[in-house]
A and B are shown apart, each in its own frame.
Chain A
Amino acid sequence: MAGVSRESTPVLKLEDLVIKYYTLSGIVHAVRGVSFEVNCRESVCLVGESGSGKSTVGLAIAHALPPNARVSGRILFKGEDVTRLNGKRLSKFVGREVTIIFQDPAATFNPLFTIGEQLMDVLRTHKGGKERDEEELRREAIELLGRVGLPDPERVFKSYPHELSGGMLQRASIAVALSPNPSLLVADEPTTMLDVTLQAQILDLLTRLKEELGLSMLFITHNLGVAAEVCDRVVILYAGKVLEVGSVEEVLLNPLHPYTRKLLECVPRAFKSVGRLKHIPGSLPDPRRPPPGCPFQPRCDEALPECSASMPPLREVRPGHLVACHKYSGQEAGVG
């Protein structure tokens, strides 16, 4: 597209991403043609249950897939294909422009070094170039720890990972992830291991930091409630395929895909009585032998004959709201 300014280029764009794991029991088709983008200063939630491929997508972006994974398709970062980068050019991208935080913050840190030493290592690597004053680095590290809402950052700086609680450690890992001033933060289930009150604190923190720093975020979660708390747009992933994309309000208030609708109906709610919960019978298809056509078709009670024959493309059914479902064929919104 000519004439598109640099600013409107998405920070991250996935084009037909396919990821397979070669295992002893066969090829696992984890991600099967995923395309979506994260725009500048936008936070996008990748929502899916276990086995949907959501974490695999996150790892692929961070170039952290295990060696038995094969990737095809393109990962464009600010318009540049980073899928095949390696060496120096890769390290300019991963860990600098894109950083990632994980579910278990204890696994992020080396248990033998203090939080401060590890944070300063990262700062030294990224901000280095010329010899920097240690004292200046130290001040910067402590300021970062304070910025993520850690009380008494001086003490945290000198602490070993085991001396901090889960919530504090997750805050510290956010500080590490923010230290190179990334453009994109990938957060893979960062609050799943935390208690609800701490989860609320971390979600608030991430929302605040995103505003303050103009960060773009890819948030990976299984929890639709969490998605509603932090995100602008949602991508619904099922068995390695994108089934629905749209703004949080659109998708959660007006879900189009039968899977999204069912998923919302299965969530017990604290703020309203729901009567009997609906549940989705059956379970996810075997990723070694994905069914042809729509992956949700075997569990879908609205399935049409064509659903088992071909995978429907993502269509824009309402403005900005895309769905991959045969039910909506011929219902495209007026887009040229």
Chain B
Amino acid sequence: MALLEVVNLVKHFPMRGGLLGRVKAWIRAVDGVSLEVGEDQIVALVGESGSGKTTTARCVLRLYTPTSGKILFMGEDVGRLKGKALKRYRRNVQAVFQNPFLSLNPRMRVEDIVAEPLKAHTKMSRQEIREVVNDLLRKVSLPEDVGGRYPYDLSGGQAQRVAIARAIALKPKLLVLDEPTSALDVSIQAQILNLLVDLKEEMRMSYLLITHDLSVVRYVSDYVYVMYLGKIVEQAPAEEIFTNAQHPYTQALLSAVPEPDPRLKRLRRRVMLKGEPPSAIHVPSGCRLHPRCPYATEECSREEPQLVKVGENHFVRCWRVA
């Protein structure tokens, strides 16, 4: 059984307008997404702005109530959890967000920020909490004196380490990482990625990594889902995605990654998409990519392709491979 199973998740947001605040349109942010995260696995959900990847993550965290579909955590329906069971879920599933300065309370000291989940979920004494907090700060390689400081006094990398320390305080089974390194400089990004990889090995957690950066994905993930306009368009083991991408969108994403090695750059085949992603209110008919796809045919605009198996654990939603 998978640790986390998302089944046909749909999240539509109403767009209200006018004097009476009537619903004028629906934003189809997530439109039927199924994915799995296994034990001890790093799964990446990749997509650009507006693809619905963050909305999916927020549904998993129960920050949004799904319009329909199910989220199962260790076989339990997350949407129906209440009371103690819900508290247990929150303990097992923690999150790290993109901007640590927004996710850390500016009026709390670092040691109190990291202690907060322990206070909320355990009956540890003050002394025990202090020890655990010091332990956690060491685990994320922060200097001892950081505990007494406030978030504004930290660098971006240090602040993200605090957010990670808080997230792992309760030894969760699943960490949802929403663009955890996008706001950081490359040298700091490498530090944080290595830290996350080490912590995962040490604590046997699973990660659901939300990102737009494919190079980060290749470095850390085991399995990859590629999302476009609310749908999964391709899913495969990480190496397979990078060596044998089948969907034109995945190919375009890959070929758009800036490559510092001029020799590799010359080998690359550019797949350019036309224009920009349409809004999730007016979703194109048929395949959602067809207005931008360089290979689109008649058929693509008429009917939506299904996810088709093209290899071991490799599925693609495209008429070209169907």
Contact = CB atoms under 8 A, between A and B. Distances in A.
B218 A229 contact: no
B279 to A, nearest CB: 9
Given A228-B262, A262-B187, A269-B218, A195 B157 contact: no
Given A196-B256, A248-B262, A270-B242, A165 B185 contact: no
A228 B260 contact: yes
Interface string A258-272: 000011101111111
Interface in B159-174: none
Contacts of A262: 187
Contacts of B187: 49, 262-263, 266, 279-280
Contacts of B186: 49, 222-224, 263, 266-267
A167 B191 contact: no
Interface stretch (B58-66, B268-276, B307-315): B268-276
Contacts of B252: 197
B215 A229 contact: no
A59 interface: no
Interface string A197-212: 1111101100000000
Contacts of B254: 270
B257 A274 contact: no
A203 B270 CA distance: 13
Nearest to A51: B185
A274 B259 CA distance: 13
B265 A229 contact: yes
Nearest to A50: B185
Nearest to B267: A271
Contacts of B194: 276-277, 279
Interface string B204-219: 0000000011111111
Contact of A253 (B185, B263, B268): B263
A161 B276 CA distance: 16
B255 A273 contact: no
B48 interface: yes
Contacts of B265: 228-229
B215 A268 contact: yes
Contacts, number: 129
A227 B186 CA distance: 14
Given A201-B272, A204-B272, A277-B193, A267 B257 contact: no
A46 interface: no
Contacts of A268: 189-190, 193, 213, 215-216, 218-219
A151 B185 contact: no
A203 B265 CA distance: 14
Contact of A271 (B155, B190, B261): B261
Contact of B190 (A249, A273, A279): A279
A225 interface: yes
B258 A273 contact: no
A266 B256 contact: no
B188 interface: yes
B199 to A, nearest CB: 14
A12 B265 CA distance: 29
A273 B218 contact: yes
B290 to A, nearest CB: 15
A228 B276 contact: no
A279 B191 contact: yes
| Most chain A Cβ neighbours within 10 Å, of B258, B263, B264, B268 | B258
Contacts of A25: none
B260 A199 contact: no
B95 to A, nearest CB: 22
Nearest to A265: B190
Contact of B260 (A151, A200, A267, A283): A267
B114 interface: no
A311 interface: no
A222 B157 CA distance: 16
Contacts of A253: 261-263
A226 interface: yes
A223 B37 CA distance: 31
A245 interface: no
Contacts of B213: 196, 268
A278 interface: yes
A106 interface: no
B272 A196 contact: no
B28 to A, nearest CB: 18
Contacts of B242: 270-271
Contacts of A273: 218, 239
A276 B194 CA distance: 8
Interface string B63-93: 0000000000000000000000000000000
B192 to A, nearest CB: 9
A278 to B, nearest CB: 7
B8 to A, nearest CB: 26
A252 interface: yes
Contact of B276 (A165, A200, A227, A252): A165
B113 interface: no
B306 interface: no
Given A50-B185, A266-B186, A272-B261, 6 more contacts: A167-B276, A197-B48, A225-B260, A253-B262, A270-B259, A280-B191
21 contacts: A151-B275, A196-B48, A196-B212, A197-B48, A197-B252, A197-B273, A198-B276, A199-B258, A224-B258, A227-B260, A228-B262, A229-B258, A252-B261, A263-B186, A266-B190, A268-B189, A269-B219, A270-B242, A270-B259, A271-B257, A272-B261
Instruction: Give the 6 A-B residue pairs with the shortest CB-CB distance, closest first.
Output: A225-B258, A266-B190, A200-B256, A279-B190, A195-B48, A268-B219
